[in-house]
Chain A
């Protein structure tokens, strides 16, 4: 997964608010998901050019007090986005194993 290049689903609306939090809105289902500022940062890097590992490096470069398990957390977050159809992997990337 850490070498995969996720891409945000272009149909999904990122609605940012003044406090750096945001919601992701799926107009097809009407579902909305809250994002904290780090999740917003990650979402903006889901462009099909950044691997998960590079995203983690960007977080370490931009944020303070990044936990040691940041990569695991980012992978879990991206997996959640994939499961919900909010993102997909770049063509050619292998789907991560389930579970």
Chain B
């Protein structure tokens, strides 16, 4: 690609909440000041010249910005579409009207972590469950595409079926995505009280697989227990059958984000990904985005990680899963080990099994006959 296809933009570092596992606070993305309106609008003009097709607005909490409508108008004026990641608590009728009027919204993702206030508010703060639901309902009244993100932790892992009922049946959302509280940002300080134990992780995988099978196409994940369950079952099946290696596996192949998009911190610093905001590639309206994209050595280093064989790492030595493994998230490898170009220990199947983890008994999405027993 000559330029990024899309951009993840943290338009503010501020948030009205302090969720216990927030990946933003206590990371390099937590910056002292937000850029002003004019600087974002100028940057959107560059994105237009670069034929960037869409932006994902995040924070902090994007709806904290009093100039949010003006920012949306800038996006529309520069021929892009947008999506927003939000805690949902600041979304009211006026917000929904403004978003609907643009006609350019791909989705608003609202975080919902529980089926009731007790399981949602425990990490997000009192009253946030009801406010987030009100936000979702306001968006739905104006036919704005809404998705939910469920972040799984110790306090909601037993609530997943009820959460699915709330989101899919009661609220009639088209779907929701899942992840788990990851060792990033504030979660690093609360990991013991928040992150899933091996047993809880096994339970989450089994529950989510069942929910996904019962609601085809409506429960998704690109990381966390559901994604791991699917990936690990496939890897285990391949290992047992001595199957040929998966395409691209055996190397640090994850993730492909740096080949399609970039991110910008709230202070205007360009970074490879909002989860790797410590790697500074330049500054908007000072550095040419096209040049950063094509030639920054740090970006090139991340792109070339897919040439690094897993067999080179002592961490992977002797692992039978190497031909089926892609090394997983570089940002998690960094927060755990201080090194992006390393397999992520958090998403290591061998380590999970050695710690007493168990894979779900069966994978409902696989065709019958794919596995015996």
Contact = CB atoms under 8 A, between A and B. Distances in A.
A25 interface: yes
A13 B1 CA distance: 15
B342 interface: no
B279 interface: no
A20 B128 CA distance: 50
B79 A15 contact: no
Nearest to B105: A30
A13 B2 contact: no
Given A13-B51, A14-B51, A15-B51, A30 B81 contact: yes
A27 interface: yes
A27 B104 contact: yes
Interface size grouping (class) on chain B = 10 to 19
Q: Per DSSP, are chain B's interface residues mostly helix, strand or loop, or mixed? A: loop
A82 B301 CA distance: 44
Given A27-B80, A27-B81, A30-B81, A15 B53 contact: yes
A70 B19 CA distance: 62
Contact of B53 (A16, A18, A25, A28): A25
A64 to B, nearest CB: 25
B1 A17 contact: yes
Interface string A1-34: 0000000000111111110000001011010100
B97 to A, nearest CB: 19
Contacts of B103: 28
A12 to B, nearest CB: 8
B106 interface: yes
Contact of A18 (B2, B5, B51, B106): B2
A7 B51 CA distance: 19
Contacts, number: 31
Given A18-B2, A25-B53, A27-B53, A13 B79 contact: yes
Interface in B69-117: 76, 79-81, 103-104, 106
Contact of A13 (B53, B76, B104, B106): B53
Interface string B1-25: 1110100000000000000000000
A11 B51 contact: no
Contacts of B2: 16-18
A93 B47 CA distance: 34
A32 B106 CA distance: 14
Interface string B24-64: 00000000000000000000000010010100000000000
Contacts of A16: 2, 51
Contacts of A32: 53
A25 B48 CA distance: 12
Contacts of B51: 13-16, 25
Contacts of B104: 27-28
Nearest to B80: A27
A11 B51 CA distance: 11
Contacts of A17: 1-2
A27 B53 CA distance: 7
B79 A27 contact: yes
A28 B48 CA distance: 15
Nearest to A12: B79
Contact of A30 (B1, B3, B48, B106): B106
B261 to A, nearest CB: 13
Contacts of A30: 81, 106
Interface string B284-302: 0000000000000000000
Nearest to B5: A15
A28 B80 CA distance: 9
A25 B51 CA distance: 9
Contacts of B3: 15
A90 to B, nearest CB: 22
11 contacts: A11-B79, A13-B48, A13-B53, A14-B51, A16-B2, A17-B2, A25-B53, A27-B53, A27-B76, A27-B81, A30-B81
Interface of A: 11-18, 25, 27-28, 30, 32
Closest 3 CB pairs of A and B: A15-B51, A27-B79, A13-B79
